Amino acid sequence: MRRIPWTLVVFAALLVVPFIGSRFYTFVATDIVIVSLFAMSLNLLLGYTGLVSFGHAAYFGIGAYTCALLMKSANVPFLPSLLAAGLMAGSFALLFGFFCVRLTRIYFAMLTLAFAQIVWAICFKWNDVTGGEQGLPNVPYPGMEWMGSAPVLGNFRVGDHFYLTALVIVALCFAGLRRIVDSPFGRVLTVLRDNPERAQFIGVNVRAYQLAAFVVAGFFAGISGGLFGIFNRGVFPDFAFWTKSAEPLIMTILGGMGSFWGPAVGAAAFIVLNQQITSYTEYWPLTMGTVLIVLLFVFPGGIAGTLTGIVARMRARPSPGATTVPVSERGMVKPNA
């Protein structure tokens, strides 16, 4: 059976969204695309390297403020601003990560949280630059005039243009992430997750690799934050608050951290659920908390993990006596499975 290139199919389907012509669908799709990059960047740490960061919002926030400040206050064009957002977030990830990777487990999580609170406090209180509690409203859309005069795209609204821009950028980032996790470097990261001691025995510099993963994750979180600030038409200190760090964790658990696309699936499910539930009731956190508890107890592999399990079981059926696919406790598919 020929393998269907699912990645391209999904990308093509997403390109079609503006043709539906609904402002609402484009809005939701933009949200999903941007936020899934945030969740995917976290999963490089969580699912691949085995590091539980509770302060990933710091890099999202740094990216958002960098991009917004450059575009709004310094009139820098969009692409350089966005790149700067990623680089700035990556640099802070290098600085903070240098200290974080020296700690293990719960202390690592606490230090990432502490650094995120520092970033939040700066955003919240440095009124002259960050606008303090009020944030920075009215971040401009990037100049996308060429799209307005292009043949098919000319009929679309500016929101659609931004959606397509964000989609292409995020797709490029995903391609980059895919290359990274499939590279020898990415393989070493999974070794660090499964057995850091053994990695050390065979001469891997554990901290250097963890730090590299931390920086890459910070860079992509920064890109995601930069895009989100524009999409949201403003950046606010809440972008770096600790509760924001919990969101990509929830999305990753929801989608399944054992597979590459899990966090993106989780982000889509999270945002669609949010849209659906908030149209019935204002008590979205209550629903999300309940969903999260069910996931933790009943489907620890998330959506992707559960589906992979079902598919694997169906494939295994023809040969009676075949054992189940080896899946580790976190619902993580083992590398050679």
Partner 1 sequence: MFEFSFLFGQFLGGLTAAMFLFLIASGLSLIFGVLRVLNFAHGSFYMIGAYLAWQFVHAIAPAPEGFWLAALAAALSIALLGGILERALLRHLYSREELYQLLFTYALVLILGDLAKIVWGTQQLSVSRPPSLAGSSEVFGVTIPHYNLFVMVLGPSIAIGFWYILQRTALGRIVRAAALDRETLGALGANVGWVYTGMFMMGSFLAGLGGALVTPIKSIVPGMDVEIIVEAFIVVVIGGLGSFWGTFLGALIYGQVLSFGILIFPRFSIFAVSVLMAAILIIRPWGLLGRPLK
* Residues at the contact surface with partner 1, assessed by CB under 8 A: 46, 52, 54, 99, 102-103, 105-107, 109-111, 113-115, 117-118, 121-122, 124-127, 241-243, 246, 249-250, 253, 283-286, 288-290, 292-293, 296-297, 300, 329-330
In the complex with partner 1, the residue whose CB is nearer, 114 or 204, is: 114
Residue placing its CB nearer to partner 1 in the complex, 88 or 288: 288
Q: How far is the CB of 242 from partner 1 (least distance, A)?
A: 6
**For residue 178, what are the contacts with CB-CB under 8 A and spacing of at least 6?**
260
Query: Residue 4 Cβ, how far from partner 1 at the closest point, in Å?
Result: 33
What phi and psi values does residue 243 have, to the nearest 5 degrees? -70, -25
Angle at 23 between CA 21 and CA 28, to 5 degrees: 115
CB of 323 to partner 1, least distance (A): 23
Least distance from partner 1 to the Cβ atom of residue 326, Å: 18
Measured in whole angstroms, the distance separating CA 177 from the mean position of its chain's CA atoms is 11
Instruction: Please identify, using beta-carbon distances, which residue of 115 and 228 lies nearer to partner 1.
Output: 115
CB nearer to partner 1: give 59 or 124: 124
Shortest CB 260 distance to partner 1, Å: 19
Helix (H/G/I), strand (E/B), else coil: 327: strand
Residue 234 to residue 24: CA distance in whole angstroms: 19
Residue number, 29 or 46, with CB nearest to partner 1 = 46
Smallest gap from Cβ 39 to partner 1, in A, equals: 14
Q: Residue 298 Cβ, how far from partner 1 at the closest point, in Å?
A: 11
In angstroms, the CA 108 to CA 101 distance is 7
Report d(CA 135, CA 131) in Å as an integer.
Answer: 5
Note the maximum CA span of the chain.
69
- C-beta contacts of 178-181 below 8 A and 24+ residues apart: 178/260, 180/44, 180/216, 181/44, 181/48, 181/260
Cβ-count burial 132-168 (b if 16+ within 10 Å, e if not): eeebbeebeebebeebeeeeeeeebeeebbbbbbbbe
Please report how close the Cβ of residue 198 comes to partner 1 at its closest, in angstroms. 19
C-beta atoms surrounding 256 within 10 Å:
30
Report the residue number, 105 or 315, with the smaller CB distance to partner 1: 105
Comparing CB distances to partner 1, the nearer of 52 and 153 is 52
Give the DSSP H/E element, type plus range, for residue 234. strand 234-235
State the nearest-atom distance from the C-beta of 192 to partner 1, in Å: 15
Whose tokens are 């995903």? That residue is 174
Which residues, in sequence order, are bridge partners of residue 205? none
Q: Which is nearer to partner 1, 156 or 214 (CB)?
A: 214
Distances (CA, A) of 21 to 147, 152, 153, 155: 16, 13, 12, 10
Q: Which is nearer to partner 1, 14 or 110 (CB)?
A: 110
